[in-house]
């Protein structure tokens, strides 16, 4: 009842706030964005977390190796991680604003995300310079994306013959061989030149960087490899193709008029055009996409000749990566996934390729769904755990090669490596300076406020959002305090809470059984049917999320339980890599706030809720 | 519905504890069934979007492609008038496209629509589009490049 009254008062206050924050002029806000506050829990973001949701896209700042990094995620994925797996309630406050103001925020966050991603890519490339130079020193192979698609056996396929012919006709006989020679010479003679120190990092401007030493070598090698694959007719590696189904799903016989066949033929034509253009006019970074196009080109040619819809496996060699056994409990969602994936594959084969214009994203969806289906079925039959998260992106074709580079002498290589390491370190420090992470002044909340405010000229955010917040002021560096200020200051039109996975399941049980029975069984970790203790959750006995006045008492029980676990952990430390000891120590740590009426720990899940 | 309980005062020690690992990565160990959910959801939504592509075509682009177009527009706006060269711009486009799992940016109309949108935002006159030095390689990457860019500019 008290809560209900508070809720009514809050709603009335919100209505009043709305009236007090009129938008100037005749325009009325017709769009909305949502500030999110994610409850605390053990693990990452134990102080709670903050994000902003624009339609289906969520932006939030994270601490990544000492600097704040802007992350952009699909809402479904964000909710899966924070609401289902991490078991945190997500609270949202919707703010009404004009569509042009929403677009300003979207553009600012989008540009900032791209600019920082490019800077992070550059840092990675500088770090790869070091590993490439080390590899050259020891004549060791380096990883190159795309070369793993092909088997270096000559004259095994004639699928590239039309590409070869088209290039020879347009650019003269011998073009491919002369290009191969040119690239070979470049690979042999490219010396490391230290890059100039980049200018000050600007968060809102897309940076321009010259290709690094490793990027130039990788790109040249990929182009050389592609030309050689065409010239010598290299086939795809064995086991790389998956049969998604018949090319004509209604009849296994090949029909030259079936939409799938027509679509694939047009897509292959598009790929051929892109391959030829990239070979003739390469641009920095085009090597790996070129090899992917060649691999898909061959997969489509085989599909058309065999009448089977063959796609590249985006999850190759998964069985070689030991991931432990599949538990009985995990078989249930896995069977559910297999059934859903089968429907997806069949649906795509039946309906997905009806559009007249080929679309890479549709083709890629089939690659992903067919690969995930194959991997899920293998996991179930072999009773091994599977990992599907890596299927996020086109097939990679990772391969290794020794680069035949002789540009630097034996004494020059270690010197070049030292300089490269220094350059990478310098740039990392630049990143840490530009995007410094500090607990109070530069964290996930303060940076979000700064980014949103920077979308507007001075003072205009007050007009756009209905109010103004200074980053970190009034203790707003704490996520829940920030959310409270959002509700007080901005033009909030509604609030909503998405209960965590455990809370959703508790609500369901409360409909089926009496409250006290559910509390007695589900309130502790020993008899709970919803929750199973997981490594990283810390050792605890009683859930304290819903208790308030009894929280110190339950916290004392948790502290005692964690203390006992710690003692046991001391004994088992030599045999279990101190994991029980860590659980016990963290259990004690997260019990301390409970003694002071505060709850952080809620338990986490590793499976999906039934709903 | 769960209410958030915000205590009127909180002790510095609670803040310190609560902020212990604030804002750090919460990627969790997404294994078998978490990815079950994400993949099946994404597959389902993907299928839905591919099925509803007729209406998306009428609106111009699907939701995913609009997001890609907007990133290209942002990129173009940011580099327009900068030292970006014709050789480097395709690289920047390829990086942007890869975020959306697109490997052939030159075959995506949304790439060119985005360039047009970005040029307009940067204040480039329509008749000067083909004179932008950083666009010279992009204009030859697709036979309809200029008309798609102009279309993106106008909408």
Q: What is the pLDDT of residue A8?
A: 47
Q: CB–CB of A176/A167 below 8 Å?
A: yes
Taking residues A344-370, report their average pLDDT: 92
Residue B60 has pLDDT above 80, yes or no: no
Q: How confident is the model at residue A176 (pLDDT cuts 50, 70, 90)?
A: very high
Taking residues A541-563, report their average pLDDT: 95
- Whether A609 is covered by a domain: the verdict is no
Half-sphere exposure of A229 (CA within 13 A, CB side): 30
Task: Provide the 3-class DSSP secondary structure of residue A18.
Answer: helix
Which residues of chain B from 126 to 155 reach within 8 Å of chain A, CB to CB?
137, 140-141
Tell me which chain A residues have a C-beta less than 8 angstroms from the C-beta of B10.
Answer: 598
Shared domain check, A576 and A445 = no
Task: Provide the b/e sequence for B81-94 (b: ≥16 CB within 10 Å).
Answer: eeebebebbbbbbb
Residue corresponding to tokens 């966050």:
A109
Residue ending a domain, among A443, A477, A498, is A498
Length of chain A counted residue by residue: 611
Length of chain B counted residue by residue: 155
Q: How, if at all, do strands A241-246 and A31-38 pair? A: unpaired
Type and span of the H or E element at A226: helix A213-232
Number of domains in chain A: 3
Q: CB–CB of B80/B122 below 8 Å?
A: yes
Q: How, if at all, do strands A31-38 and A398-401 pair? A: unpaired
Shared domain check, A515 and A490 = no
- Helices and strands counted in chain B (H then E): 8, 0
Contact B108 A360 (CB under 8 A): yes
- Using the Cα atoms of residue A590, residue A532, residue A324 and residue A41 in order, give the sign of their dihedral: negative
Shared domain check, A533 and A462 = no
Taking residues A11-27, report their average pLDDT: 47
Does A82 contact chain B (CB < 8 Å)? yes
Which residues of chain A from 276 to 295 reach within 8 Å of chain B, CB to CB?
277, 281, 283-286, 289, 292-293
Shared domain check, A376 and A258 = yes
Q: CB–CB of A318/A377 below 8 Å?
A: no
Tell me which chain B residues have a C-beta less than 8 angstroms from the C-beta of A337.
Answer: 33, 36, 39-40
Question: Would residue A322 be called left, alpha or beta, if left means φ above 0 and alpha means ψ between -120 and 50 degrees?
Answer: beta
Condensed to tens digits (0 to 9), the pLDDT of residues A486-527 reads 999 999 999 999 999 999 999 999 999 998 999 999 999 999
Domain that holds residue A101: 2-115+431-498
Shared domain check, A483 and A522 = no
Contact A593 B18 (CB under 8 A): yes
Determine the Cα–Cα distance for residues A150 and A297; give it in Å rounded to an integer: 12
CA A181 to chain centre: 39
Q: CB–CB of A309/A366 below 8 Å?
A: yes
Alpha helix (H) ranges present in A235-359?
Answer: 259-280, 287-306, 328-347
Dihedrals φ, ψ of A437, to 5°?
Answer: -105, 125
Tell me which chain B residues have a C-beta less than 8 angstroms from the C-beta of A85.
Answer: 28, 30, 34
Residue ending a domain, among A445, A479, A498, is A498
Condensed to tens digits (0 to 9), the pLDDT of residues A305-348 reads 999 999 999 988 776 665 677 777 778 888 988 999 999 999 99
Partner residue facing B28 (CB), from A62, A86, A355: A86
Q: What is the pLDDT of residue A211?
A: 95
Residue ending a domain, among A463, A481, A498, is A498
Contact B39 A341 (CB under 8 A): yes
Taking residues A170-176, report their average pLDDT: 90
Tokens of A190: 């490219």
- Whether A159 is covered by a domain: the verdict is yes
A454 burial type by CB count under 10 A (0-12 exposed, 13-18 middle, 19+ buried) = middle
Condensed to tens digits (0 to 9), the pLDDT of residues B69-107 reads 999 999 999 999 999 999 999 999 999 999 999 999 999
The DSSP secondary structure of A391-415, one letter per residue, reads: G-SS---EEEE-----SS-TTHHHH
Partner residue facing B23 (CB), from A49, A206, A270: A49
Contact A483 B88 (CB under 8 A): no
Nearest of A210, A480, A257 to residue B3 by alpha carbon: A480
Shared domain check, A180 and A41 = no
Task: Provide the b/e sequence for A120-140 (b: ≥16 CB within 10 Å).
Answer: bbbbebbbbbbebbbbbeeee
Which residues, including other chains, have CB under 8 Å from residue A273's CB and lie 6 or more apart? none
Residue A424 has pLDDT above 50, yes or no: yes
Q: How, if at all, do strands A49-54 and A57-64 pair? A: antiparallel
Tokens of A414: 């270690």
Residue of A nearest to B96 (CA): A114
Lowest-confidence segment of A34-48, A214-228, B94-108 by average pLDDT: A34-48
Does A476 contact chain B (CB < 8 Å)? no
Tell me which chain A residues have a C-beta less than 8 angstroms from the C-beta of B98.
Answer: 393
Shared domain check, A449 and A553 = no
Does A118 contact chain B (CB < 8 Å)? yes
Residue that wins the pLDDT comparison between A23 and A428: A428
Taking residues B145-152, report their average pLDDT: 95
Shared domain check, A175 and A44 = no
Shared domain check, A525 and A481 = no
Nearest of A424, A435, A480, A493 to residue A129 by alpha carbon: A424
Type and span of the H or E element at B150: helix B145-154
Q: CB–CB of B70/A328 below 8 Å?
A: no
Residue A16 has pLDDT above 90, yes or no: no
Beta bridge partners of A467: none
Beta bridge partners of A34: A53, A94
Give, in order, the Cα–Cα distances in Å from A156 to each of A35, A46, A231, A275: 57, 56, 11, 20
Alpha helix (H) ranges present in A469-578?
Answer: 479-489, 501-512, 515-522, 551-576
CA A94 to chain centre: 25
Q: What is the pLDDT of residue A351?
A: 87
Shared domain check, A510 and A481 = no
Q: What is the pLDDT of residue A259?
A: 85
Residue that wins the pLDDT comparison between A11 and B134: B134
Q: What is the pLDDT of residue A157?
A: 80
Shared domain check, A196 and A344 = yes
Partner residue facing B38 (CB), from A46, A80, A284: A80
Tokens of A252: 């296994």
Condensed to tens digits (0 to 9), the pLDDT of residues A379-410 reads 899 888 777 655 567 899 999 999 999 899 98
Nearest of B42, B35, B98 to residue A365 by alpha carbon: B42
Share of residues in chain A with pLDDT > 90 (%): 73
Task: Provide the b/e sequence for B43-67 (b: ≥16 CB within 10 Å).
Answer: bbebbebbeebeebeeeebbebbbb
Q: CB–CB of B84/A208 below 8 Å?
A: yes
Q: What is the pLDDT of residue A15?
A: 45
Taking residues A145-151, report their average pLDDT: 96
Q: What is the pLDDT of residue A164?
A: 92
Q: How confident is the model at residue B45 (pLDDT cuts 50, 70, 90)?
A: very low
Shared domain check, A254 and A286 = yes
Task: Provide the 3-class DSSP secondary structure of residue A549.
Answer: coil
Determine the Cα–Cα distance for residues B26 and A211; give it in Å rounded to an integer: 32
Condensed to tens digits (0 to 9), the pLDDT of residues A181-195 reads 999 999 999 999 999
Would you kindly state where each structural domain of chain B is located, as residue ranges? 68-155
Does B30 contact chain A (CB < 8 Å)? yes
Determine the Cα–Cα distance for residues A241 and A572; give it in Å rounded to an integer: 47
Taking residues A120-128, report their average pLDDT: 96
Does A334 contact chain B (CB < 8 Å)? yes
Nearest of B19, B38, B39, B132 to residue A365 by alpha carbon: B39
Beta bridge partners of A64: A67
Determine the Cα–Cα distance for residues A293 and A81; give it in Å rounded to an integer: 33
């Amino acid at each position: 009842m008290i809560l209900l009254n508070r809720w009514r008062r809050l709603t009335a206050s919100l209505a009043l706030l709305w009236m007090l924050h009129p938008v100037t002029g005749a325009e009325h806000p017709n769009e909305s964005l949502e500030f999110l506050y994610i409850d605390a829990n053990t693990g990452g973001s134990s102080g709670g977390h903050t994000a902003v949701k624009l339609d289906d896209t969520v932006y939030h700042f994270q601490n990544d190796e000492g600097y704040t990094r802007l992350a952009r995620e699909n809402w479904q994925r964000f909710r899966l991680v924070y609401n289902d797996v991490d078991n945190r309630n997500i609270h949202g406050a919707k703010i009404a604003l004009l569509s042009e103001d929403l677009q300003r925020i979207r553009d600012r966050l989008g540009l900032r995300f791209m600019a920082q991603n490019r800077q992070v890519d550059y840092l990675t490339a500088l770090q790869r310079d070091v590993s490439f130079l080390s590899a050259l020193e020891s004549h060791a192979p380096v990883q190159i994306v795309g070369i793993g698609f092909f088997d270096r056996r000559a004259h095994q396929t004639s699928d590239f013959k039309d590409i070869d012919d088209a290039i020879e006709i347009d650019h003269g006989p011998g073009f491919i061989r002369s290009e191969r020679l040119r690239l070979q010479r470049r690979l042999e003679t490219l010396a490391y030149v230290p890059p100039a120190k980049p200018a000050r990092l600007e968060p809102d401007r897309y940076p321009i960087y010259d290709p690094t030493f490793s990027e130039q070598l990788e790109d040249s090698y990929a182009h050389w490899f592609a030309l050689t694959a065409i010239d010598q007719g290299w086939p795809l590696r064995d086991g790389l193709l998956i049969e998604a189904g018949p090319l004509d799903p209604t009849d296994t016989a090949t029909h030259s008029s079936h939409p799938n066949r027509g679509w694939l033929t047009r897509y292959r034509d598009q790929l051929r055009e892109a391959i030829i253009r990239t070979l003739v006019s390469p641009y920095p970074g085009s090597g790996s996409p070129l090899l992917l196009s060649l691999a898909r080109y061959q997969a489509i040619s085989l599909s058309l000749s065999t009448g089977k819809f063959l796609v590249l496996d985006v999850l190759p060699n998964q069985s070689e990566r030991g991931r432990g056994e599949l538990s009985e409990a995990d078989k249930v969602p896995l069977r559910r996934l297999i059934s859903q994936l089968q429907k997806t594959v069949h649906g795509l084969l039946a309906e997905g390729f009806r559009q007249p214009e080929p679309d890479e994203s549709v083709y890629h969806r089939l690659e992903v769904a067919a690969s995930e289906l194959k991997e899920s079925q293998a996991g179930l039959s072999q009773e091994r755990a599977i990992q599907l998260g890596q299927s996020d992106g086109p097939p990679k074709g990772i391969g290794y090669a020794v680069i035949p580079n002789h540009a630097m002498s034996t004494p020059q290589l270690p010197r070049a490596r030292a300089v490269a390491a220094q350059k990478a370190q310098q740039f990392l420090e630049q990143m840490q300076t530009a995007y410094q992470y500090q607990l109070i002044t530069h964290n996930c909340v303060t940076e979000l406020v700064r980014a949103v405010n920077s979308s507007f000229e001075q003072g205009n955010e007050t007009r756009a959002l209905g109010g103004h917040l200074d980053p970190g002021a009034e203790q707003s560096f704490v996520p829940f305090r920030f959310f409270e200020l959002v509700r007080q200051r901005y033009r909030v039109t509604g609030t909503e809470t998405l209960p965590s996975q455990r809370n959703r399941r508790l609500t369901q049980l409360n409909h089926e059984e009496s409250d006290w029975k559910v509390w007695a069984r589900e309130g502790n970790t020993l008899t709970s049917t919803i929750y199973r203790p997981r490594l990283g959750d810390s050792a605890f006995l009683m859930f304290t999320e819903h208790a308030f006045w009894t929280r110190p008492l339950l916290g004392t029980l948790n502290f005692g339980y964690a203390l006992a676990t710690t003692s046991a952990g001391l004994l088992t430390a030599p045999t279990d890599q101190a994991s029980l000891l860590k659980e016990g120590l963290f259990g004690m740590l997260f019990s301390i706030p409970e003694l002071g009426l505060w709850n952080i720990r809620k338990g986490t899940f590793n499976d999906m809720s039934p709903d | 519905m769960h209410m958030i309980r915000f205590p009127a005062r909180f002790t510095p020690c609670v803040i310190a504890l609560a902020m212990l690992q604030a804002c750090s990565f919460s990627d969790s160990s997404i294994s078998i069934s978490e990815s079950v959910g994400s993949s099946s959801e994404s597959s389902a939504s993907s299928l839905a979007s591919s099925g509803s592509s007729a209406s998306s075509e009428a609106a111009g682009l699907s939701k995913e492609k609009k997001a890609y177009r907007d990133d290209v527009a942002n990129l173009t706006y940011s580099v327009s008038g900068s030292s970006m060269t014709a050789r480097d711009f395709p690289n920047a486009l390829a990086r942007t496209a890869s975020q959306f799992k697109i490997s052939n940016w030159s075959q995506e109309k949304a790439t060119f629509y985005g360039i047009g949108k970005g040029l307009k935002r940067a204040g480039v006159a329509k008749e000067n589009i083909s004179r932008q030095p950083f666009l010279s390689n992009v204009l030859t990457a697709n036979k309809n490049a200029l008309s798609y860019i102009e279309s993106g500019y106008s909408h």
